Amino acid sequence: MNELGRMLFFFGVVTALVGLMLWTGVGKGWLGRLPGDLHYSKGNFSFYFPLVTCILVSLFLTFLFWLLRK
C-alpha cells in the first residue's frame, strides 16, 4: 500500500507541473508545430494531427516510467 501512495503522489505532482507549464505558456511557440506535424486546410475544412509531438511525448513518458521502475 505504501508504493501505491507514493505512485499517486508522484502522478499528482507531475500533473500539477504539467498544468503549471501549460498555464504559463511553456512550449507555446514550438509544441505542436514541429516538422512532421500534419496540418491540412482547404476552404472551410481544417485537419491537424501533431504526429511528431505525440512521438516525442511518448518517448519522454516511456523514459520517465523506465526510470521510475528502477
| pLDDT on residue 2 | 80
| pLDDT on residue 30 | 73
Please give the chain's pLDDT, 70 residues, in tens: 688 888 888 888 888 888 888 788 776 777 778 898 999 999 999 999 999 989 988 998 898 888 877 6
Q: What is the C-alpha separation between 58 and 65, in angstroms, rounded?
A: 11
Helices (H) and strands (E) in the chain, counts: 2, 2
Q: What is the C-alpha separation between 39 and 48, in angstroms, rounded?
A: 4
Phi, psi dihedrals of residue 38, rounded to the nearest 5°: -85, 130
> Which run of H or of E encompasses 39?
strand 38-42
| pLDDT on residue 21 | 81
What SS3 state is found at 26? Answer: coil
The answer to whether the CB of 9 falls within 8 A of the CB of 17 is no
| pLDDT on residue 41 | 93
